[in-house]
Homo-oligomer: A and B are copies of this chain.
Amino acid sequence: MTEEYHGNPSEVRSVWYQDGELRILDQTQLPERTVIERQDSVEQVWQSIKELKVRGAPAIGVAAAYGLVVGLRPYREASSEEFCRQAKRIGDYLIEARPTAVNLAWAVRRMLARLDELVSHRHEVGTGSEVSAARGADRPDRLYAELEAEAERIHREDIALCRAIGEHGRPLIKPDIGVLTHCNAGRLATSDYGTATAPMYLAHREGVPFRVYADESRPLLQGARLTSWELQAAGIDVTVITDNMAAFVISKGLVDLVIVGTDRVAANGDVANKIGTLGVAILARHFNIPFYVACPSSTVDLETPTGAEIVIEERGAEEVRSFGLRRTTPPDMQVRNPAFDVTPNELVTGLITERGIVSPPYAERLQELFGVR
């Protein structure tokens, strides 16, 4: 079921769950239409993730957690064995929607681990005298309610995490500065606040005046379509530029600070993010402007020593060969389409995490903050 949204766009969420119903904002239709889609089956959730109706690592994780709940709804009356078997099957199915999305698999595994915990708890107590009470806790409708609560916890934790990033980054937004951002690491990519945008939303709520330049972010134009839309909806002064205008805008003294998001941060602080981020980091260094990366701890990957070990996904040629309905290059034109690039740690002024801003030397500091003790 889809419906056009006509309310205040600043109140729309990428994903929300209310009265047992999951809804997502169809981001593929932005900025032309604001369409809300109720998710009535796990197949629909799978499609929504696959087709990028819901996108951004944290938002995908939250959608997948709820997606598992949606998929289990028909099994509330089944046996608990069947319920668990279906949960495993649906989880595997959901992960396939975007196999490289770390948060998707993470959220599904966390949901299944919670289910395991509930069921094994039953087995432990089931050997004792409280068999009938334990049987009650094992009933699929109870398991279902517990999984629903777990998905809501994942959701709330994401909001709290983004808010914490916002609070740590907030002091960077001084009155009347210009902030440049690339791609969309905003509310639309998370449950709320966003990561790169969280300091901006908090500063704006406090009445701090500032302006944002949003790179359009070819080829998929997340900056032009999404960052522009969500910042405008919030009443923040935002200007869209094509990616190749960033140098011009910075050279004119209009930008005092860069904040971007990240997909993965290596143990040495090298940052993988949307293609084009490296170029912005080099411009920031050239013009002596601080370059910050908003970085939830879930993106810190201490298993990957440096950015050199991060495999860069190369996407389909058509994204570069055309735009919308119009071909932009000769047919069969040779193109490159790396989805990400790696910004070396020496170009990064700081990582804004939910536990505070991490400064160089990153290898030591990231280990201290996020390493296993």
Q: Which residues of A does B touch, CB under 8 Å?
A: 31-32, 182, 213, 215-219, 221, 224-225, 228-229, 232, 237-249, 251, 275-276, 278-279, 282-283, 285-286, 312, 320-321, 323-331, 333-338, 341-342
> Do B279 and A247 have beta carbons less than 8 Å apart?
yes
> Do B240 and A335 have beta carbons less than 8 Å apart?
yes
Majority SS at the chain A contact face = mixed
User: What separation, in Å, do the CA atoms of A334 and B337 have in the docked complex?
Assistant: 28
Chain B residue at minimum C-beta to C-beta distance from A330: B31
Ranked nearest first, the 3 interchain pairs of A and B with the lowest CB-CB distance are: A244-B276, A324-B326, A247-B279
Known: A243-B244, A245-B338. 15 other contacts (CB 8 A): A32-B327, A182-B244, A215-B244, A216-B320, A217-B244, A224-B320, A240-B334, A240-B335, A242-B243, A242-B276, A245-B275, A245-B337, A247-B276, A247-B282, A279-B279
> Do A241 and B320 have beta carbons less than 8 Å apart?
yes
> Do A216 and B248 have beta carbons less than 8 Å apart?
no
> Do B286 and A328 have beta carbons less than 8 Å apart?
no
CB of A210, distance to nearest CB on chain B (Å): 14
CB of A255, distance to nearest CB on chain B (Å): 12
> Do A224 and B279 have beta carbons less than 8 Å apart?
no
> Do B239 and A336 have beta carbons less than 8 Å apart?
yes
> Do B278 and A329 have beta carbons less than 8 Å apart?
no
> Do A320 and B242 have beta carbons less than 8 Å apart?
yes
> Do B329 and A224 have beta carbons less than 8 Å apart?
yes
CB of A291, distance to nearest CB on chain B (Å): 13
> Do A245 and B336 have beta carbons less than 8 Å apart?
yes
Residue numbers in B under 8 Å from A282 (CB-CB): 247, 282-283, 286
Partner of A328, one of B225, B279, B333: B225
CB of A341, distance to nearest CB on chain B (Å): 4
Residue numbers in B under 8 Å from A337 (CB-CB): 245
User: What separation, in Å, do the CA atoms of A153 and B364 have in the docked complex?
Assistant: 69
> Do A323 and B323 have beta carbons less than 8 Å apart?
yes
> Do B218 and A248 have beta carbons less than 8 Å apart?
no
Known: A216-B320, A242-B218, A247-B279. A228 touches B329 (CB 8 A): yes
User: What separation, in Å, do the CA atoms of A153 and B363 have in the docked complex?
Assistant: 66
Residue numbers in B under 8 Å from A215 (CB-CB): 244
CB of A67, distance to nearest CB on chain B (Å): 29
Known: A32-B327, A240-B333, A330-B229. A278 touches B341 (CB 8 A): no
> Do A238 and B324 have beta carbons less than 8 Å apart?
no
> Do B242 and A341 have beta carbons less than 8 Å apart?
no
> Do A247 and B341 have beta carbons less than 8 Å apart?
yes
CB of A336, distance to nearest CB on chain B (Å): 5
